[in-house]
Structure formats: C-alpha cells, structure tokens
Structure 1
Amino acid sequence: MGVFPNFDGLGGIGDLKQVIGALLMFVLIIAVLMLIVSAICWAIAASHGNYAAAAKGRVGVLVALGAAVLAGGGVAWINWLITIGRQL
C-alpha cells in the first residue's frame, strides 16, 4: 500500500506555492541588500577607527548572510523532505 501526500487535495495549493516563491524572492533580495549595506558600514567604520560601529556592521553582515543561507537552503530542505516522504 503506497501512502504519499496528496498536494492536489487542497484548493489553491498552486497559488500558495507562488506566494511562497514570491516571499522567498523578497527575503533573498533584502538579505543581499542588507549584506551590501552592512559591509559598507563595516568598512567605513573600521577605516575611521569607530570600532563600535564596525562591530555592528560585522553583526549585520553575519545576520544577512545567515538569512540568505536559511532562505536558500529552506527550499532544498523542503524538497528533500518531500522526496523522503514519497519513499516511505
């Protein structure tokens, strides 16, 4: 007996996938923009000797990088889970 998820059982699942894809695009764009802004702030603050602002810029770079990795890796992780679910 094969048990597998029925993604067509819910109405509007295709629209939901499009909304999630659009939100993921916005998250990735914002993460890249924040990465650029934080890196610029880090570089300017470090060159002027403002180490408190440089530390905040470094934290911004790391947070933006983490958000981009999680958002990008989330799609691969969900696809992997769906593939594993079909094999069970």
Structure 2
Amino acid sequence: MNVFPDFGAVGASGEFASVIGALLTYVLIGSVLTLLVSAIIWAVASSAGNPYTAQKARIGVFVALGTAALSGAGIAWANFLLAVGDRI
C-alpha cells in the first residue's frame, strides 16, 4: 500500500514535499507532547481525586490521538486528490 502522495503530478513538487513533510513532523511532535502531558495530568488528577481535571486531561489525550490519526489520514487524502486531479 502506497501512503505517499504522487508529487510528480504537481509543479514545484520538491518544495511541496518538503513543506508537507515539515508540517507533518511538527504536527506529530506536538501531538506526542500533548499526549504525554495529558496522560500525566490525567493520572495525577485521577489519583488526587480531582474528576474535573481528569476529565479535561482525558479529552486532551483523545484530541492528541485524533490529531495524530488525522495527520496520517491527510497523506492518504492528498494522494487521493492528486490522483483525481490527474484524471480531470
């Protein structure tokens, strides 16, 4: 399964690939850091008996996981759009 976009169909594909790679790297690093911080806060708040903070940290964990999943799905979406653009 090829999950990398076909940059040959786009002009200036070298710059486009480097920009997308850099943005994906920043998103994934931010998502992992958010996941770590939220998981730690969730554990501390749960053990301290603070349900409101634990709930907010749990939401942070799920948002971080969703962000990582959507950024990975973005590559497949870009590949699909580039393939459709070739056929139009």
Give the aligned length: 81
Aligned-residue offset at 1:6? 4.6
| Residue aligned with 1:77, SS | helix
Aligned-residue offset at 1:87? 4.9
TM-score normalized with structure 1 length: 0.79
1:7 aligns with 2:20: no
TM-score normalized with structure 2 length: 0.79
Give the greater-gyration-radius structure (CA): 1
Match of 1:76 in 2: 76
Give me the whole-angstrom Cα distance separating, in 2, the residues matched to 1:52 and 1:20: 37
Which ranges in structure 1 are unaligned for 5 or more consecutive residues? Answer: none
Write out aligned runs for 1:1-80 (5 A): 6-8=9-11, 12-80=12-80
- Structure 1 residues 77, 6: closer, same or farther in 2, change over 3 A? closer
- Structure 1 residues 58, 29: closer, same or farther in 2, change over 3 A? same
In 1, are the aligned partners of 2:9 and 2:86 still within 8 Å (CA)? no
Let me know the Cα RMSD of the aligned residues: 1.9
Aligned-residue offset at 1:16? 2.2
Aligned-residue offset at 1:81? 2.9
Higher relative contact order (CA 8 A, sep 6+): 2
- Flag as ranges the 4+ runs of structure 1 deviating above 4 A: none
Give me the whole-angstrom Cα distance separating, in 2, the residues matched to 1:86 and 1:19: 21
Which ranges in structure 2 are unaligned for 5 or more consecutive residues? Answer: 1-7
Match of 2:4 in 1: none
